[in-house]
Structure 1
Amino acid sequence: MVLIQRTAQLDRLRTALSNCDDQHGGQVCLITGGVGSGKTALLEAFAHEVTESSAHLLRAVGSRAERDLQFAVMDQLIDSSGLGRASMRQVATAVRLLARTAPIAPPADDLAGLAAGRPDGASPAEPGTAEQPLPSTVHGMLTSLLDMARPAPLVITIDDVHHADQASLQCLLYAVRRLRHKRIMVVLTESSELRTPHPHFRAELMSQPFFSRIDLAPLTDEALGLLAETHPVPAARARIARRAPALTGGSPLLMRALMDDPDATGTAPRPETAPAVGGSDGPLAQAVLRSLYRHEPEVRATARTLAVLGHPTPLPVLARLLALTPDLTAQAVQLLGQSGLVDGDRIRRPLVPAVLTDLPAEERRLLHRRAAEVLHEYGAEPEVIARHLVGAEWAEAEWARPALYRAADQATASGRPDITSACLRLTQRQSADSGSWTPYDGLLLRSRWQINPLSAATDLAALAAADGPDGCPPAALTGVPALLWQGHSDKARSIVAAVAQMSDPDAMTRARLAAARLLISLFRPDHCEEARDEARRFTDSGTATTVTGRCLDALVLLADALDPARASGDTAAEAELMIQRYLADDGALGLLATLLLVMVYTGRSGLVCEWTRMLLARPSMRYAPTWQAVLHAIRAEAALRLGSPQEAEEQARAALTVITPRAWGAAVAAPLGTLVAAATEAGHFEDADRWLARPVPAESFRTPLGLHYLAARARYQLAAGSRRAATDDLRWIRREMAAWRMDTAALVPWRLDLARVQLALGRQQEAVRLLEDQLDPAHTADERTRGAALRLLAGLVPAEQGRQLLARSVKLLESCGDRRELARALTDRTRALRRPAGPEPAGRDTTPAPERRAHSRASAEAPLCAGESEAERAEPLGGLSEAESRVAALAAQGHTNRQISSKLFITVSTVEQHLTRIYRKLDVKQRTDLATRLAAVGAHGK
C-alpha cells in the first residue's frame, strides 16, 4: 500500500533512529490509532528502511490468540535476532526454565514488582510458602540481546503490542530501562481499545524520558483521492475517489479493500439490485468484518446494534440496549469512528449489510425486539418502533399494533408500500379477528398491489367474502381499483351497490362512492354512466382537501378529456396545475398517473414525457413497481404520439419487465397495444406479430385500453394487407366509443385510421368523407390528429386546395411535436410546391407503398399514411441532389441509417456520406433538426 498522509510520521521515526547514538542513547516510539488506521503499514515501511541500513532489526507481532502464551513475543524477537542456532537454543532453554521456576503471569498490579527490584516482576511468595529463587539466565539473555547494539543501532519492533503476553512485556520493560546508555530503538504499535491493556506497563513506558507517541489520524479526502489515482484501471479512479469518503471514512484498511473490490469500483458487471459493498465475500465486506473482529466484543456489539437501529439513536437508548454505561458506549462509538465504520452516531449506510453479515437471524430478531421495547419506553416515533417490530416479527405487546398502524399510514403517505405491507402483514398475523374488512385490510391490499398485483390475490378473495348478506363495509371500496385491474368489474359494481345501501352514509363515504362509480365508468364505460355527473357535483363540494377528494378531481378531469362535449383547453390547464402541485409527493403516484393520462389525451405528450422521466428517476420509485410500470406505459404512449417509435418500444418493454404481463391483468392491453403500434410504425412487422401473439384477457376489450390495442392491431393488419380485418377492428371501436359516449379522437382516431383503409381499397370518396368528419370540431380531434387528417386530405383534393391544407397540417404538427408525421407533411408540401397548378391527374395512385407492394413486408414503408412512399421521389430542395433529398426525407421521419439503406437499396456507408453532405448544405448539426430545417427550406422554396 502506498503511504499517503504518513510522511510526517515516518520522518519522526527516521529522526528517532538517527538519535540512537552514544550521546542521545535509546528511543521508544509508540504508534497509536484506530483499527485499520495504517499502523502496520507505517511500521513495515520503517522496518524496510532499517533493513536497508546497517542497523540490526528484531521483529515481533502480538496476537490475541497468544496473549496467554508466556514469552510468545520474546520468542519471536529471539528468532529474528540472527543468533546462531546453539545460542538461540540456549536462550530459549533459559526462558522455559524461568517459566517453570517463577510465576510468569502476575496480576497487572504486580508489575510494580519490577520497580521493587524483582527484575522479572514475579509476585512475592504466598504466605506459608518459600519464595523461589530466580535464575540469572534472564539477565544474561537480555544482556546478550542488548549487546547487539554495540556496533550499530538495534531496532526492536512489536506490532499490536496491546496483544503481547505479560511475561514478554516484563522483559521489554527490563530493556527499556537500560536504553539511556544503549543505541537501541523500540517501536511499538497499539490500537485504541475500551480498556487500556497492561495499564502499568503503558504507564511506566510513557514515563520514560526518551518516549514519544505518534498518533495516526484518518486519511483526508485529498489523501483518499491520491490513493485512488494509484489504481491500475484508469476508468475506475474517479469512481473510487468519489465513493471513498462515504465508504471508508478515511480508513486505510477499508480504502485498500475498496480498491480491490470490483463491485465497489465498477470494474466488474454489477446488477442494480446488488448491495452497495458487493457480496459478503467481497474484499470490502471482508475488510469490514476483519476490522470488527479486531475490536473488543463490546465494540462489535455496538457496531451490530447501530447497524440494526439504522437511525441516529440517543446515547442513553444505545447504552440501555448494550447494557453498558453511557461513557463506555460513547467510547465504543468513538473507536468505531476511528476505524471508519461509523459516521457521527450511525454505521455508514453502505457498510450496514457487511456489519450484519455474520449476525445469526435469531440474534438479529432478538435485537430488533429489544430495540422496539426500549424505543417505545423512550417515546420514539411509531415508524421507528414499527421497523424493529417488523424486524423482530413480533407484535404481542398491547402497544405494538397501534404503532404498526400509525407507521403504515405514514409509509403510505410517503410512497413506501413495502413498509406499509410489512407492518400490516404483522398486525394481520397477530389479529384473531379476520371476519370483517377493515380500512387497514384495504390499505394492505393497496400496498401489495403497488408491489406486485399478483400478490393481492389473497386480499381480493377476502374482499369478496366481505360482501355478504349482512352488507359491505365502506372500507371495501378501497378494493375497487384492484378488482378493475384484474378485470373483475362486476364484483366492483356489486361492492359499490352494497355500500350504497347503507343508511345515512357520511360525507366521506359518499365521496368514496362517487369516486368508485366514476372509476368503474372510466374502466368499463358501459357501467354507471350516471357516475360522471354525480362525481362532478362532488368536485364543487370542497372535498379536494382530502385524498379522496383530490383523486375524485383527477378522475373528473380524465372523464372530461374523454367526453367530446366537455374536452377543452381548460381540462389540460387544470391537470397541469394539479401535477405541478403534487409532483413532489411520493405518495401521490396514483393521482399523478391519472393526471398524466389527462395530459396525453389532451395532446400534451411532450410534457408527459418530461414528467414521467422525472418521476421514474426518483429513488423512491423502486418501492412501487406497479406504479413504475404504469408510468413506463404512459411514457410509451406519449412517445408514440410524438413520433418516437423506438422510445415507445423501449418504455413499453420496460412496463412489461418491471411487472410481468400476467401481473398487468386486464390493463395489459395498454403496453401491448403500444408495442404493436410502435413496431408497425417502424416497419418491424415480425416484432408486431410476436406482440400480437401474447394473450390478452377478454375483459380488456370492454375497456378504453382495449380500444388502444384494437387500433394498433388494425394498423398492423392494414400494413400486412388484411384490410377486411382492419376494417372489422375499427368498426368495433366505432361502435363501442359511440355506446360509451367517448367518441373522441383523443382516445382513438378511428375515422383517420379507417380513412387509410378506404384509401388502400381505392375508395377515395369514402376516405374524404371520413377525413372531413374527423376534422369536425364536434369530434374533438387534437392537433396531431387534425394535422395527420389534413395531410391525407390534401392528397385527395385539387392541388391549390391541397397546398393550403398541407400548410395548415405542417403548422399543427409543428406545435404538437410528432416528428415523424411532421416529416411526412413537410415532404408532401415540398412535393406539392414543385407540382404545377392545375387539376389533379385522374387515377392518381394514393395507395400506400406497402399496398402497392402486396405481401412484401420487408420492403414496406411506414404504412400509416397514403402517398408516403413519394418521399423517395421528392424533388431536390435546398441545394440537395435527388438522392440526398430522399435520404433527408427519410432521416427526418426518424428512420435509422440501416433502414434508409434498405429502403433505397444503397449501402449504409452511402447513407452516411449523403447525411454528411446534407448536414453541411442545410447547416444542421443533428438528425433531430432535419424536419424543422426542411420545413423552412420548403416554405421559402429554396
Structure 2
Amino acid sequence: MQSQVTDERQPRRPPAQATAAPPLAGRMPEQRLLAGLVENLRAGRPALAEIRGLPGTGRSALLEWAAHHAREAGVHVEAAQASWEETEQRYGVVAQLRAAFAPPAAADPARPPATATADRTADLCRAARAAARAHPLLIVVDDVQWTDPCSLRWLRAQARRLAGVPLMLLTARTGTGPTTPEERLEPGSLDDERAVAHHTLTLGPLTPADVGDLLAAAFGTPADPAFRDAAARSTDGNPAVLRATAARLARHGRQPRAEHLPHLAECAAEAVRDRAARTLAALPGDLRSVLRAVAVCAPHTGPGTIAALTGPTATGTRRALELLAGTGLLTGGDHPAFREPAAARAVLAGMNAHDREELYARAAEHAHHTAVPDGALASMLTGARVLGAPWAVDVLRREAARHRAAGRPGEAARLLRRALREPMAPHLRVRTLTELSAAVLPLEPDTADRHLRQALRSPADADAGPSWIRAADLLVARGDVARAQPLIARALAGDRVRPAERSALRALYWLAAHSRRETSQALDRPPVPALPEHPDDPAEAAVAAWRQALLGQDIGRARRLARAALAPRHGHPAPLSPQVAACHTLVLTGDFTEAHAGLDAVLLRAEHADARAVAGSAGLVRAMALLHEGRPRDASTALDRAQEVMPPHCWHPLMSPAVVALKALIHLELGDTAGAGRSLGLARDDDGDAGDAGGGLGWACLLYARGRTHLAGGQRDAALADLLECGRLLLSQQAANPALLPWRSAVARARGLDPHDRDAAALLAEERRLALTWGAPGPVARALYATGGLALPEPVRPGSAVPADWRFRQALSALATARLAGPDAVAPPPGGTSVPPPPAVPAPRAAPARPPAPERVAAPPPTRPRAAREGLTGAEARVAALAACGHPNRAIAAGLSVTPRTVELHLTRAYRKLGIHGRPELAEALERLGKDTP
C-alpha cells in the first residue's frame, strides 16, 4: 500500500512518497464515511466495507488513508495485498497478517499440527476475534479479487462472524461490476445494520472541479477552464492518468493554459498507453491468451467463441473475463471489449505475424459458422491469412459496399484489397477490381484508373464480359481514353466475349477514339471493326449519333440515333458513357427537353451503380445544356453539383480542362470576366503542353474559353492565338460542328471585325455554311448574326433569346430553303475544311447586343426592258445595279433580305449574260445597257 495514487498495482506497502498534489482529490465523501466507521470501531461496533473502482481511481490510496487514520485513532491495523502470482498459494493472504493472530498450533500445544490440506478457517476466525477483543482491530486487504481460495474462504467466514467484536474488514476490488456469490463478502444473515455496518464504496471519475484542484496542486497555478475541461475528457477523470499527464506536461515546461491543449491530448494518450502496457506485463499467460482472443473477436463474440480459440484455462473463460474486466482493460458482460483500442493493439503486437494471422483465421472460421455479423467477420478476415473460401470474398465485398454507401471509401478499399488476396473466378476478380477503383476514386484518382486497367488486363472467362464493360465504361467516363483504347481492343480480340457485350465494348472503343484521335496507331494493337452504318445496339447508336454531331452532318440521323440509344430496352442495359454522349448529341441538336430526360435516367443508374465518373460527366452535359438554353445561373448550379460528385482533382488530365472551361464560360455568360479569369487560373500548368492533356477536346475547350476571356478583356492578340490553336485542335480531331464551339466567329471578332478582312469573312462564311449544314436553329441564328455583324462591337449571346428582327427571319428562311437551294447554297469557299469529335464544353457566347439596322441601299432606276432582252431577270438586274454603285455583297444581301451566296449567284449570271469578267466592268456595261434602252 502507498499513499500516492497510481495507475497500476504497486508492491506491498512501499514507503509513502511526497507528492505535490493531494492523493485523495475528489474523495472527501468516502473519507468522511471511513472516518466514521473507524470512530465506531473504537466504540466497539464492527463494520464491513469494500471499495471498488477501475485502476488508477485511488482505491489503494483510500485504503492507505483509512489505515493511517485508524492508527492515529488508536486502532490496531493489519494489512495485506493479494496478487495473481499467489492465487494458488494456500492462505497466502493470511500469511501476510501474522501479527493479527498467532498460528493455531502455537495457541494450543496439545492440538496436533495441521496437515498441508487441512482447513484452518475456523481456527483463524477464532484467533482474529480473540485479537479484536483484546484491542480494536482493522484488517485491510487490497486487490481482493486475486485472493487465494483458502484466504477468501476465511474472509467470507470472518465477515459472517463480525457481530459482537470490535473488528472491521476493509477490502478493495478492481472493477465496478457485480461479483459472484463465491466472491461476495457479506455479514451474517441475522445481523442487521445496527449489529454490523456494511458499506460498498464505488469510486467514479473525478468531476471537472476536482480535476482543476488536482491540476492547481500539480502545477502550482490555477488551470484555465478550457484546459481543465479538456483534461477531464482526455483522461476520463482518472486521477492516476491525470497525474501522469500533468507530470509529462511539467517536464516539458507546459502550463495548464488553453494554448497547450494539443500537447495535453498527446500526453494523455501516452499516459493511457503506458498504463495499459504496465497492466499487461503483470498478467499471467492464460489471461493474456484470453486478451488476445478478445482483441481479435470483440465486441461481437462471447465467452463461447473465446473459449474455442484459447482452449481450457486455469481459471475458466468466464472467470478470466471477469478478472480482466476488473483490471480496467475490458468491459464486462457477455460481449467483452477493450476499453482502450491502444491496449488491444499492444496485446496483438506481442505476437509474431504467423501466429497472429492464424489466430485471426481460426476466429473468422468459427465466427462464420456461428453467424456473426458481416462487420465483425470482415474485421477478422482483414488480419487473417488467406483462407481460400468463397464466403470470405462475399463477406468482404458486402461489407465494402456498406462502407461505400456510408461514405467511408478508405475502409471499403481496405476490405477489397484483402478480398483480392483470396483466389476467385476471373469475372469476380474483374468485378472486385472495378469496385476497388470506385472506392479509391475520391482519394486516389490515378490509383483508381490503374485498378480499371488491371481489370481489363485480367484473364477472362465466359462471365467476364459485363465486368469488362463496366471497367471500360468507368475508364472512358473519367477521361482516360488514351490508355483505354488499346485495352478495350485487346479485350475485343478474345473469344470469350458474347455478341451483345462485343457491341458494347466496340462502342466504348470508338467513343474513346473520337474523344482523342491519336497521331499514330500502335502496331501491336488488334484492329477494331468500325461501327455499323445502321447500328442496332444502343451503345453503338449513341456513339454513332455523337460522331455525327461532331462532324456536323445530317442532324436528322443524329437525332434518330440518339433517341434510339436512350430508348429503354428490357434486359439490355447499355454502358452509361455512350448514353451521356447521346444526351450531348441532343444538346447539340437543340432537343433540350429530351436531353434532360435522358440525363435524369443516366444519373439514376449511375447513382445505383456507384459510378461517380459517369455521374460527373452527366452533370457536365446538363450544365452545357442549360448554358445553351440561356440559363447560366442554372448551369452554374448544375456544374457545382457535378463537382460535388466528381471534385476537380478526380478528373483525368484529358477531362479536367473541359470542367475549368465550362466554369469560365458560365462566368462570361453572367458578365463576370474577372470570375472567368479566376476559373481559368485553376487549370493545371501542364495541361495542354504535352502528355495526357495535350491534343484533347478538353484542352480545345479551355483554349476557347481562355480566348473568349481575353477577348472580353480587350486582349485581342492573346485571344487570337488561343482561338486559332483551339480551331487547329478541333480540326485535327475532326470536330467541325459550330454548335460545339463557334471558334471561327470568335476569331473574326478577335481580328477586329473589319469588313474588308478577307480571312475573317472566309471564317464567318465557313461557320455559316457549317451551321446551315447542321441545321439546328441556335447555331444557325448565331452564325447569321455573326456574319451580318462584322461592324458590331459585341457578339451575340448564344443562349439568349433571339429577337425577331430581319436577321432571325433570314435564319428561318435559310433553314426552310437550305435543301431546295441545292449544293451551291452551302458550298464551301476555296480551302474550306470539314471536321468532328466534341469537347465536353458547350460553346457559350458573349453579352447580347441588338445589332444596328443594316444600311439600306437605294434601288437604281429600273432597266427591265433591256435586261429582259439580254436575259437578266429582275433580281439579277437589281443586284447588278447595287453592285455597280459600289455596295459590297453583304450589304446588298442585307438590303434585299437574301443571303450573300444568292447575291454571288445573281452576279455570276449577270456577268455571263453581259459578257463581262467582273465587277470593274459592271458599271460601264450597265451604262451602255441604259443607253441602248428605248
TM-score normalised by structure 2 residue count: 0.55
Q: For 2:149 and 2:545, how far apart are their aligned partners in 1?
A: 87
Q: Is the 8 A contact 2:615 2:645 kept in 1?
A: no
Over 3 Å counting, the alpha-carbon distance change for 1:425 and 1:758 in structure 2 is: same
Q: Deviations over 1:639-666 (max 9, x none)?
A: 767769xxx9xxxxxxxxxxxxxxxxxx
Q: Deviations over 1:782-803 (max 9, x none)?
A: xxxxxxxxxx999769xxxxxx
1:917 counterpart residue number: none
Q: For 2:428 and 2:175, how far apart are their aligned partners in 1?
A: 60
Q: Equivalent of 1:282, from 270, 279, 289?
A: 270
Q: For 2:652 and 2:346, how far apart are their aligned partners in 1?
A: 31
2:370 counterpart residue number: 378
Over 3 Å counting, the alpha-carbon distance change for 1:7 and 1:34 in structure 2 is: same
1:287-306 mapped onto 2 (5 Å cutoff): 287-289=275-277, 301-302=289-290, 304-306=292-294
Over 3 Å counting, the alpha-carbon distance change for 1:381 and 1:699 in structure 2 is: same
Q: Equivalent of 1:734, from 724, 727, 739?
A: 727
Q: For 1:524 and 1:442, how far apart are their aligned partners in 2?
A: 26
Q: Please tell me the residue identity of whatever aligns with 1:681.
A: G
Q: Equivalent of 2:308, from 320, 325, 339?
A: 320
1:212 counterpart residue number: 198
Q: Is the 8 A contact 1:449 1:482 kept in 2?
A: no
The answer to whether the aligner puts 1:568 opposite 2:561 as a matched pair is no
Q: Is the 8 A contact 2:754 2:791 kept in 1?
A: no
2:903 counterpart residue number: none
2:123 counterpart residue number: 114
* 1:709 Cα offset (Å): 4.1
Q: Is the 8 A contact 2:142 2:171 kept in 1?
A: yes
1:357 counterpart residue number: 346
Q: Equivalent of 2:696, from 695, 703, 709?
A: 703
Q: What SS class does the counterpart of residue 172 from structure 2 fall into? A: strand
Q: Is the 8 A contact 1:224 1:255 kept in 2?
A: no
The answer to whether the aligner puts 1:15 opposite 2:36 as a matched pair is yes
Over 3 Å counting, the alpha-carbon distance change for 1:410 and 1:731 in structure 2 is: same
Q: What SS class does the counterpart of residue 364 from structure 1 fall into? A: helix
1:914 counterpart residue number: none
Q: Please tell me the residue identity of whatever aligns with 1:352.
A: P
1:187-198 mapped onto 2 (5 Å cutoff): 187-192=170-175
The answer to whether the aligner puts 1:160 opposite 2:143 as a matched pair is yes
The answer to whether the aligner puts 1:592 opposite 2:621 as a matched pair is no
1:837 counterpart residue number: none
More helix by share: 1
* Number of residue-to-residue matches in the alignment: 709
* 1:190 Cα offset (Å): 1.3
Q: Equivalent of 2:583, from 544, 552, 557?
A: 557
Q: Please tell me the residue identity of whatever aligns with 1:541.
A: P
1:936 counterpart residue number: none
Q: Equivalent of 1:681, from 677, 682, 688?
A: 677
1:530 counterpart residue number: 544
* 1:356 Cα offset (Å): 1.8
Where structure 2 has 5 or more consecutive residues not aligned to the other structure, the ranges are: 1-21, 216-222, 520-529, 532-542, 547-557, 628-633, 780-789, 796-801, 804-843, 850-934
Over 3 Å counting, the alpha-carbon distance change for 1:593 and 1:46 in structure 2 is: farther
* 1:343 Cα offset (Å): 8.8
Larger deviation, residues 336-345 vs 383-392:
336-345
1:259-658 mapped onto 2 (5 Å cutoff): 282-289=270-277, 301-302=289-290, 304-309=292-297, 312-313=300-301, 316-323=304-311, 328-329=317-318, 332=321, 336=325, 339=328, 341-342=330-331, 351-360=340-349, 362=353, 363-380=355-372, 385-397=377-389, 400=392, 431=423, 439-440=431-432, 452=444, 454-455=446-447, 475-480=467-472, 487=480, 489=482, 492=485, 495-496=488-489, 499=492, 505=498, 507=500, 510-511=503-504, 514=507, 517-518=510-511, 521-522=514-515, 530=544, 532=546, 536-542=563-569, 553-554=579-580, 556-558=582-584, 560-561=586-587, 564-566=588-590, 568=592, 571-572=595-596, 575=599, 587-601=610-624, 602-603=626-627, 604=634, 606-608=636-638, 611=641, 626=650
Q: For 1:4 and 1:285, how far apart are their aligned partners in 2?
A: 23
Q: Please tell me the residue identity of whatever aligns with 1:356.
A: R
Q: For 1:503 and 1:169, how far apart are their aligned partners in 2?
A: 75
Q: Equivalent of 1:39, from 44, 59, 65?
A: 59
Q: For 1:330 and 1:627, how far apart are their aligned partners in 2?
A: 57
Q: Please tell me the residue identity of whatever aligns with 1:731.
A: L
Q: For 2:655 and 2:291, how far apart are their aligned partners in 1?
A: 40
Q: Is the 8 A contact 1:415 1:588 kept in 2?
A: no
* 1:189 Cα offset (Å): 0.5
Q: What SS class does the counterpart of residue 110 from structure 1 fall into? A: coil
Q: Is the 8 A contact 1:522 1:559 kept in 2?
A: no
* 1:369 Cα offset (Å): 0.2
Q: For 1:632 and 1:463, how far apart are their aligned partners in 2?
A: 24
Q: Please tell me the residue identity of whatever aligns with 1:114.
A: D
Computed over aligned residues only, the root mean square deviation of the Cα atoms, in angstroms, reads 7.2
Q: For 2:142 and 2:653, how far apart are their aligned partners in 1?
A: 57
* 1:320 Cα offset (Å): 3.2
Q: Deviations over 1:866-903 (max 9, x none)?
A: xxxxxxxxxxxxxxxxxxxxxxxxxxxxxxxxxxxxxx
Q: For 1:349 and 1:614, how far apart are their aligned partners in 2?
A: 38
Q: What SS class does the counterpart of residue 542 from structure 1 fall into? A: coil
Q: What SS class does the counterpart of residue 700 from structure 1 fall into? A: coil
Q: Please tell me the residue identity of whatever aligns with 2:200.
A: I
Q: Is the 8 A contact 2:603 2:615 kept in 1?
A: yes
Asked which structure has the greater CA Rg, the reply is: 2
Over 3 Å counting, the alpha-carbon distance change for 1:366 and 1:727 in structure 2 is: same
1:692 counterpart residue number: 685
* 1:692 Cα offset (Å): 3.0
Q: What SS class does the counterpart of residue 348 from structure 2 fall into? A: coil
* 1:706 Cα offset (Å): 1.9
Q: For 2:752 and 2:69, how far apart are their aligned partners in 1?
A: 91
Q: Deviations over 1:255-299 (max 9, x none)?
A: 888999999x9977979xxxx997996233444555666777666
Q: For 1:266 and 1:695, how far apart are their aligned partners in 2?
A: 50
Q: Please tell me the residue identity of whatever aligns with 1:587.
A: D
Over 3 Å counting, the alpha-carbon distance change for 1:501 and 1:284 in structure 2 is: closer
* 1:251 Cα offset (Å): 7.3
* 1:370 Cα offset (Å): 0.8
Q: Please tell me the residue identity of whatever aligns with 2:612.
A: L
Over 3 Å counting, the alpha-carbon distance change for 1:825 and 1:42 in structure 2 is: farther
Q: What SS class does the counterpart of residue 710 from structure 1 fall into? A: helix
Q: Is the 8 A contact 1:251 1:339 kept in 2?
A: no
Q: Is the 8 A contact 2:45 2:166 kept in 1?
A: yes
Q: Please tell me the residue identity of whatever aligns with 1:17.
A: V
Q: Is the 8 A contact 1:717 1:725 kept in 2?
A: yes
* 1:235 Cα offset (Å): 3.7
* 1:560 Cα offset (Å): 4.2
Q: What SS class does the counterpart of residue 187 from structure 1 fall into? A: strand
Q: Please tell me the residue identity of whatever aligns with 1:565.
A: T
Larger deviation, residues 322-331 vs 369-378:
322-331
Q: What SS class does the counterpart of residue 50 from structure 2 fall into? A: strand
